[in-house]
Structure 1
Amino acid sequence: MAEKLRMVLAATPSFRDMVFGAASVARLEALGDVVVLDDPGDAAALTAALPGADVLITSWGATPLTAGVLDHADRLRLIAHSASSVKHFVTDEVFRRGLRITQAGQAMAEPVAEVSLAFTLSLLHRIHRFDHQMHDGAWRDDAPPQHGLTSSQIGVVGASRTGVEYIRMLVALGAEVVVYDPYLTDDRAAQLGVRRIALDDLLRTSRVVALHAPTLPETHHMIGARELALMADGSSLVNTARSWLIDSAALLTELQTGRIDAALDVFDEEPLPADSPYRSLANVLLTPHQAAATVECYLEMGEITAAEIERYAAGEPLEYELTEAALARMG
């Protein structure tokens, strides 16, 4: 490396402690000087720190990178986001100026997929229903039939990063997996060991339906009353992706009949209100939008960020670079 980099790290102290462990901090410091900003949403502080900076490391709550902010970024070439989605702060101005962007969302794929798998197994074996019953003092009260994973068809909506990790886990455990994703090719499906299928057919025939689609205009409420009605009696729905994908009112209505079960980690309103009807339903398993929140996931986000900046400094291809076209297809 011809010269040391100047990096600006905009992240709260708690985020830095959680994501940037000693190893990733050492890697960054070996690359050059790191200027730390404690408030990632402070546009004035970022504007003051950007002159002379080569790399901007962003985090949760990043301030939008408008023309007014970027006008002060005279040397900036790389934006390394140490979390997942960049849509809340990356503007058209970033691409107009030819800035490169990378992100660390891959770290979240495996833990979220693990939770989706845990949800799937719990729903198949009705663990959530038995848990509710036993807390209420009952013993083996009526519940829909239990099923094994290897005798079940699992439908996956969206072969995203997380969707692919979930698929790999399912296939390794011997499940039959079908996938709906308009971008999934036959060759890629064969590599994953899955079968492509139309959404309506997936809903009709799958014992568990797991959502892993991105947030796009065309995916808003892609699962509504009509789609839920296609699901077989006793089947289940898993959502660790985004509440954007489901018409929540239609889902609640369907769940209140007891005809299907669900496991949900994401909601239209977060925190989920204390009086939410979801909380009283024995056929629903709930977690508080924590699917990715493992210690290892957060530390890997920091490691990915440091590794991407190392690649940039060495003139090597970035592993997780985002193009404008790719960003348009991502949630």
Structure 2
Amino acid sequence: MNPLKIVMLQSRHFTDRIFNEAHLSRIRQFGELIVNDSVGNPTPERAAELAEGADMIITSWGCPPLDAQVLDRCPKLGIALHAAGTVKPIVSPALQERGIRVGTANEALARGVAETALGLAIVSLKNMWQLARNTREGEWDKQRERVRELYEVTVGVIGAGLSGRHLIKLLQAFEVRVLVYDPFVNEAAIAGMGAEKVELDALLSGSDVVSIHAPSIPETERMMNARTLGLMKEDAILINTARGSLVDEEALVAELRKGRLWACLDVTDPEPPCADHPFRSLPNVTLLPHIAGAENNGLRRIGAYIATEVERYAVGKPLQGEVDVTQLFRLA
């Protein structure tokens, strides 16, 4: 195997947060590693300069598209590995035209998203948000009767992509029924996960917990709207760790004001919501600052994942996170 020239384009800020020295040492085993030491996000010009002669490029948040300006400087480039989620910000027509492979750490992020969704489901069913408030105010038993367990309830998972699949896997440890809506995944595949494939309306009307894991594409824009939210059961819990654009926020606010639902929102549209947005004051909303995927020590999971992908590529093994860029229209 010839040594590779491997270039990290992201700012030093993201490199230091994602990769520890062990990850970098694993990558260096396969060639020369060039790390961008600049503090701010790289400009297209800086990215092109860094990419000179690269066999492999590693990107992350804040990197510009890998367009002709960058790719002309690295004619031997074989692959771009994205140490983040969606590759849409870095993919360009030039990348596709030149047949350069693309990989993502979406699987590493998806695990964090699924784990967060599971935690929100457990805590919300237990009514812990309200009980903690009541207990601080001296009410020991108030609303204890609203506590439910993650047992013999129905969980609806919208989207059986990476995070949805991992949530389904985690739910196999519980005695619950799992319904899945995903038009791109067939019934047999979903049954193999231990779940049932249903249409969206059936999932919403039959689930005690609804967790959104669908991609942000034109077909999913505001899929949770006045009609679909109205199908949800009384006292159901809506969890959104996907994208804010999937929810019609005005319609959700209207349902929340009726007291019918509890919403756990890690994402909104836009982010953050304005200072006087009802999500900030309604008592039946748990509002989080987009932390589901990876934060702090969780970012190291991305570093480990990318180091493994470098190893797999260098020795000719299939990648775990390779992306078919022709299918971006259906990906998150």
TM range, smaller chain: over 0.9
| Contact 1:153/1:205 (<8 A) preserved | yes
Provide the C-alpha distance between the structure 2 equivalents of 1:322 and 1:137, rounded to a whole number of angstroms. Answer: 53
Kept in 1, the 8 Å contact 2:44–2:69? The answer is no
> 2: CA distance between counterparts of 1:269 and 1:135?
32
Offset, 1:296: 4.7
TM-fit CA distance, 1:143: 7.8
Change in CA separation of 1:152 and 1:30 when aligned onto 2, cut-off 3 Å:
same
The amino acid of 2:34's aligned partner reads V
SS of residue matched to 1:35:
strand
Answering whether residue 192 of structure 2 is matched by residue 191 of structure 1, we say yes
**What letter is aligned with 1:5?**
L
**Equivalent residue, structure 2, for 1:74:** 75
- Distance (whole Å) between structure 2 residues aligned to residue 172 and residue 141 of structure 1: 30
Aligned equivalent of 1:4: 3
Q: Is the 8 Å Cα contact of residues 102 and 325 (structure 2) preserved in structure 1?
A: no
In the other structure, the counterpart of 1:227 is 228
Give, as a single letter, the amino acid of the residue that structure 1 aligns with 2:156: G
User: Does 2:308 match 1:304?
Assistant: no
- In structure 2, the partner of 1:91 is 92
Deviations 1:256-300 (A, max 9, x none): 221111111111122333332212122111211111234453112
The residue type paired with residue 91 of structure 1 is S
2 CA distance for matches of 1:207 and 1:281? 20
1:40-88: CA deviations, max 9, x gaps?
Answer: 4311111122221111110101111222332222221110111111111
1:194: how far off?
0.6
Q: How many residues align?
A: 330
Q: Classify the secondary structure of the residue corresponding to 2:180.
A: strand
Question: C-alpha distance in 2, partners of 1:132/1:221?
Answer: 32
> For 1:68-110, what per-residue CA distance to the aligned partner results, in whole angstroms no more than 9, with x for missing partners?
3322222211101111111112112211111110111111122
Pairing 1:156-195 to 2, within 5 Å after superposition: 156-195=157-196
SS at match of 1:150: coil
List alignment gaps of at least 5 residues for structure 2. Answer: none
User: 2-side partners of 1:144 and 1:223: how far apart?
Assistant: 29
- Give the conservation status (yes or no) of the 8 Å contact 1:24–1:303: yes
Partner in structure 2 of residue 206 of structure 1: 207
Q: Which residue of 2 aligns with 1:29?
A: 28
Change (3 A) 1:293 1:50: closer
Change over 3 Å in CA distance of 1:265–1:121 after alignment to 2: same
Counterpart mapping for 1:100-179 below 5 A: 100-135=101-136, 138-142=139-143, 145-179=146-180
Q: Distance in 2 between matches of 1:189 and 1:104?
A: 23
What is residue 13 of structure 1 aligned with on the other side?
12
Deviation at 1:190, TM superposition (A): 1.8
39-48 vs 222-231, which moves further: 39-48
The residue matched to 1:179 in structure 2 has which SS? strand
Q: Secondary structure at the residue paired with 1:80?
A: strand
- TM-score scaled by length of structure 2: 0.94
Once residues 210 and 153 of structure 2 are traced to their aligned partners in structure 1, the CA distance between those partners, rounded to angstroms, is: 11
Whether contact under 8 Å (1:128, 1:282) holds in the other structure is no
Indicate if the aligned counterparts of 2:309 and 2:320 stay in contact, CA closer than 8 A: yes
What does the per-residue CA deviation read over 1:164-205, in whole Å, with 9 as the maximum and x for residues that have no partner? 111111121111111111122222122111111110011111
- With the length of structure 1 as denominator, give the TM-score of the two structures: 0.94
Which 10-residue stretch deviates more, 199-208 or 33-42? 33-42
Alpha carbons 1:64, 1:90 under 8 Å: kept? yes
Alpha-carbon distance between aligned partners in 2 of 1:180 and 1:143, rounded to the nearest angstrom:
32
**Aligned in 2, Cα 1:69/1:317: closer, same or farther, shift over 3 Å?**
same
Distance apart, 1:147 and its partner CA: 2.2
Deviation at 1:144, TM superposition (A): 7.6
Residues 129, 143 of structure 1: 8 Å contact kept? no
Greater Cα offset, 102-111 or 265-274: 265-274
Partner of 1:238: 239
Q: Structure 2 counterpart of 1:22, which letter?
A: E
Root-mean-square deviation (CA, aligned residues, Å) is: 1.8
Q: Tell me, in whole angstroms, the C-alpha distance in 1 between the residues paired with 2:52 and 2:15.
A: 22
Who is 2:286 aligned against? Answer: 285
